[in-house]
């Protein structure tokens, strides 16, 4: 068996001054942590399995970065500020070079937010990474999936569908010019969680979710939990120029609607506060893609007929 203590100490113990909210970190039976009295604790846990959530030949540093990013994206969708993580790492064998690269990728992102690794477990088995992220939010400002109201504007951050096309590149299913390939692989392997936008949305959004399973699937969680519907217009979907240049308009829209792994935020803003939100969010590219409507389900306007998946109404 791997020696978890040696592993964790060697690769994952950062010699930083302990912040005051970590009373006890790695090295005992558990970590002891202090949550500020005026904050709620927000937790999110996600597992990445090799060959399922990333191609088996993905670089270790990218796996480390992404395993954290997907969890920070969940915290961002709750409006939470990230603070601590635990890492449960299952590895087929001890591989020093792999571990160094994995840790380097993980801490590249963790250090941006001064996130502390406070505990974990390392086991032998098929490559699987489970990270739990812990953050804070004032309870009353939590972003939920359930608060969207009829008439709210629907927004997404960034651009959609890039990671879906990036996956086709990573799987060697297509070749593109190297500028496009680089951008799209970066979008797949190094998604940037929208932490700062999530914090801003505490003041504006009536609902929020992160797009991990594709826009239609994730927006459906908002409409179902809010007991409303949504209307989207094709021409409003934000597409990167790399995506637009590489695919037909039809294919690009399909990826934007259904491909997962973009880790952008989808959220709703009351129409009356839209201008104020746009002024406040000018450093975070966001695009209005439609509005919350009464009829249940998602209504797609002006989408190519051939594209429309079963189960979504269209006009």
121 binds its own copies (CB under 8 A): yes
Binds its own copies by CB under 8 A, chosen from 100, 142, 287, 299? 142
> Which residue in the set 6, 9, 18, 51 belongs to the binding site for its own copies (CB under 8 A)?
51
Q: Is 1 in the site for its own copies (CB under 8 A)?
A: yes
Interface size with its own copies, residues (CB under 8 A): 61
Position 227 contacts its own copies (CB under 8 A): no
Q: Look up residue 114 and give its two tokens.
A: 């001064």
Computed on alpha carbons and rounded to an integer, the radius of gyration of the chain in Å comes to 20
User: Does 63 engage in binding with its own copies (CB under 8 A)?
Assistant: no
Looking up tokens 């927006």, which residue turns up?
219
List Cβ neighbours of 33 (8 Å cut-off, separation of 6 or more): 21, 22, 23, 84, 118, 134
The residue behind tokens 């904050």 is 39
Say which residues have a Cβ less than 8 Å from residue 121's Cβ, sequence separation at least 6: 4, 88, 89
Q: Is 13 near its own copies (CB under 8 A)?
A: no
Determine the Cα–Cα distance for residues 43 and 37; give it in Å rounded to an integer. Answer: 16
Residue 143: closest CA among 80, 212, 218: 80
Q: Which stretch binds its own copies (CB under 8 A): 44-52, 109-117, 152-160, 179-187?
A: 44-52
157 binds its own copies (CB under 8 A): no
Measured distance CA(269)–CA(287) in Å, rounded: 12
SS3 299: strand
Among 13, 14, 19, 40, binds its own copies (CB under 8 A): 40
The single residue among 8, 12, 26, 53 that binds its own copies, judged by CB under 8 A, is 53
Q: Point out which span in 137-145, 157-165, 175-183, 187-195 binds its own copies (CB under 8 A).
A: 137-145
Backbone angles phi and psi of 68, in degrees to 5: -80, -40
Q: Does 28 bind its own copies (CB under 8 A)?
A: yes
Closest CA to 1 of 130, 121, 85: 121
Stretch that binds its own copies, among 161-169, 188-196, 207-215, 282-290 (CB under 8 A): 207-215
If one asks whether residue 31 binds its own copies (CB under 8 A), the answer comes out as yes
Mask for 76-105, x = binds its own copies (CB under 8 A) = -xx-x-----x-x-x---------------
CB–CB of 152/292 below 8 Å? yes
Nearest to 120, CA basis, from 36, 232, 27 = 27
Contact between 171 and its own copies by CB under 8 A: the answer reads: no
Q: Summarize as ranges the residues that interact with its own copies (CB under 8 A).
A: 1, 5, 23-24, 27-35, 37, 40-53, 74-75, 77-78, 80, 86, 88, 90, 118-121, 123-126, 128, 130, 132-135, 137, 139, 142, 144-146, 208-210, 221, 225
């Amino acid at each position: 068996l791997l020696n978890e203590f040696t592993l964790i100490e060697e690769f994952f113990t950062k010699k930083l001054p302990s912040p005051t909210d970590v009373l006890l970190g790695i090295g005992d039976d558990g970590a002891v942590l202090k949550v500020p009295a005026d904050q709620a604790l927000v937790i999110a846990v996600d597992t990445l399995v090799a060959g399922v959530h990333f191609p088996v030949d993905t670089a270790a540093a990218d796996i480390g970065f992404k395993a954290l990013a997907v969890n920070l994206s969940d915290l961002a969708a709750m409006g939470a500020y990230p603070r601590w993580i635990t890492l449960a790492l299952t590895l087929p064998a001890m591989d020093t070079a792999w571990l160094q690269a994995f840790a380097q990728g993980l801490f590249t992102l963790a250090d941006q937010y001064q996130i502390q690794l406070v505990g974990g477990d390392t086991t032998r088995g098929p490559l699987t990474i489970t990270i739990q992220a812990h953050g804070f939010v004032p309870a009353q400002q939590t972003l939920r999936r359930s608060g969207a109201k009829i008439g709210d504007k629907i927004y997404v951050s960034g651009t959609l569908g890039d990671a879906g096309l990036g996956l086709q590149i990573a799987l060697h299913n297509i070749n593109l010019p190297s500028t496009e390939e680089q951008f799209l692989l970066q979008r797949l392997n190094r998604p940037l969680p929208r932490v700062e936008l999530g914090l801003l949305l505490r003041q504006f959004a009536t609902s929020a979710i992160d797009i991990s399973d594709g826009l239609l699937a994730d927006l459906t969680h908002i409409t179902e939990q809010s007991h409303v519907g949504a209307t989207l217009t094709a021409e409003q979907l934000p597409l990167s120029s790399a995506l637009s240049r590489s695919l037909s308009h039809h294919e690009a829209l399909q990826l934007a609607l259904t491909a997962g792994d973009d880790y952008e935020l989808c959220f709703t803003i009351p129409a009356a506060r839209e201008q104020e939100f746009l002024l406040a969010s000018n450093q975070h590219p966001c695009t209005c893609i439609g509005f919350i409507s009464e009829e249940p389900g998602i209504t797609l306007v002006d989408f190519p007929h051939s594209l429309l998946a079963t189960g979504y109404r269209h006009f």
